[in-house]
Amino acid sequence: MKKIFAYPRALSPKRTHYCPGCTHGIIHRLVAEAIDDLGIQERTIGIAPVGCAVLAYEYFDVDFLEAAHGRAPAVATGVKRVHPEAIVFSYQGDGDLASIGMAEIIHAATRGENITVIFVNNTVYGMTGGQMAPTTLPGQKTTTSPYGRDTATVGYPIRVCELLATLDGPAYLERVSVHDPQHIIKAGRAIRKAFALQVAGKGFSLVEVLSSCPTNWGMTPTQALRHIKEVLVPYYPLGVFRAPEEVSGDDA
């Protein structure tokens, strides 16, 4: 009998610590599937962030380094320069990447560092209990914006893909979502493509994934998915912000 659905090899069969309805787990799976598809498990090295995904190294069956908060792109750079033939990816939250680690991500991108970044945007600091993030939407209530994000005093959210698209360095930038099966399939394709580009030596690739945090949004899992669709996607438009001409969506 042909097996048509199985646990990805690059994922360890463990129960995760993520909250019910959190989409970090789905994104892990998509990354593992891309690694399996491309046959790169034995040469892949991951960098875990400080954030809810800090234990990512527990779930992937590949070599891993746990980085300081925000510094994963610098750590990935160090690893990649020692092992250029390895496939190196960082997995980072929005506080990690777009606040404390902004310098590291911009400079890794502008160097065209041949790494892949999985950027999980859930518009809050999940791990520390739901504080305001650089991506928190105008008016959004968090524990440190209890009256809603007031743009007059704390400014506006950062759109990372659009920001990085001003640079010549990146090879591929795409924003995806995982709020329903069609979007999960699309997100999987984008992640696979990002890794494939690295395998082909095309340079810096980043996939931003709009992700849920039902716990800190104060929502049920289904409400949280609807919130992504109805509130996040209009503010953070999905799509490709830098397309690599050389590698098409199909063979990549």
Partner 1 sequence: MERVMMKGNEALAEGAIRAGCRFFFGYPITPQNEIPEYMARRMPEVGGVFLQAESEVSAINMVYGAGGAGGRVLTSSSSPGISLKQEGISYLVGAQVPCVIVNVARGGPGLGGLTPSQSDYFQATKGGGHGDYRLLVYAPGNAQEMVDLIGLAFDKAEAYRNPVMILTDAIMGQMMEPVVLPPLREVSPDKPWATTGKKGRSKPNLINSLGIVGEDLERINVELQAKFARMAADEVRYEADGVEDADLVVVAYGTSSRVVRSAISRLRQEKKKVGLLRPVTLWPFPQQILAELAAAGKRFLVVEMSAGQMVEDVILSVNDRAKVTFFGKLNGTVPTVKEVYDRIMSLLPEGGEE
Ligand X SMILES: Cc1ncc(C[n+]2csc(CCOP(=O)(O)OP(=O)(O)O)c2C)c(N)n1
E-only strand ranges, 29-109:
44-48, 63-66, 87-93
Q: Work out what residue 77 binds among ligand X, partner 1, ligand SF4, none; the CB cut-off runs from 5 to 8 Å by kind.
A: partner 1
Which tokens in the block code for residue 247? 């590698």
From 17-25, 59-67, 192-200, 236-244, span contacting ligand SF4 (CB under 6 A): 17-25
Angle among Cα 131, 100, 88 to the nearest 5 degrees reads 115
Q: What phi, psi does 167 have (nearest 5°)?
A: -95, 150
Which listed residue (9, 12, 19, 186) binds ligand SF4 by CB under 6 A?
Answer: 19
Closer to ligand X by Cβ: residue 127 or 184: 127
Dist. CA 118–CA 89, nearest whole Å? 7
71 counts as binding partner 1 under rule CB under 8 A = yes
Q: Which of residues 41-100 bind ligand SF4 (CB under 6 A)?
A: 52
From 19-27, 56-64, 142-150, 223-231, span contacting partner 1 (CB under 8 A): 56-64
Give 62-69's long-range contacts (Cβ < 8 A, gap of 24+): 62/10, 62/35, 69/96, 69/100, 69/101
Dist. CA 58–CA 60, nearest whole Å? 6
> What is the closest distance, in whole angstroms, from the C-beta atom of residue 133 to Mg ion in the complex?
5
> What is the closest distance, in whole angstroms, from the C-beta atom of residue 228 to partner 1 in the complex?
29
162 counts as binding partner 1 under rule CB under 8 A = no
> What is the closest distance, in whole angstroms, from the C-beta atom of residue 70 to ligand SF4 in the complex?
17
Determine the size of the site formed for ligand SF4 (CB under 6 A).
12
For residue 235, what are the CA distances in angstroms to 15, 179, 223?
33, 15, 18
Q: Work out what residue 128 binds among Mg ion, ligand SF4, ligand X, none; the CB cut-off runs from 5 to 8 Å by kind.
A: ligand X
Dist. CA 111–CA 138, nearest whole Å? 32
SS3 at position 165: coil
* Chain CA centroid to CA 83, Å: 23
83 counts as binding partner 1 under rule CB under 8 A = yes
197 counts as binding partner 1 under rule CB under 8 A = no
Binding site for partner 1 (CB under 8 A): 41-45, 47, 54-55, 57, 60-68, 71, 74-83, 86-87, 103-104, 106-107
Binding site for ligand SF4 (CB under 6 A): 18-19, 22, 24, 52, 122, 126-127, 213-216
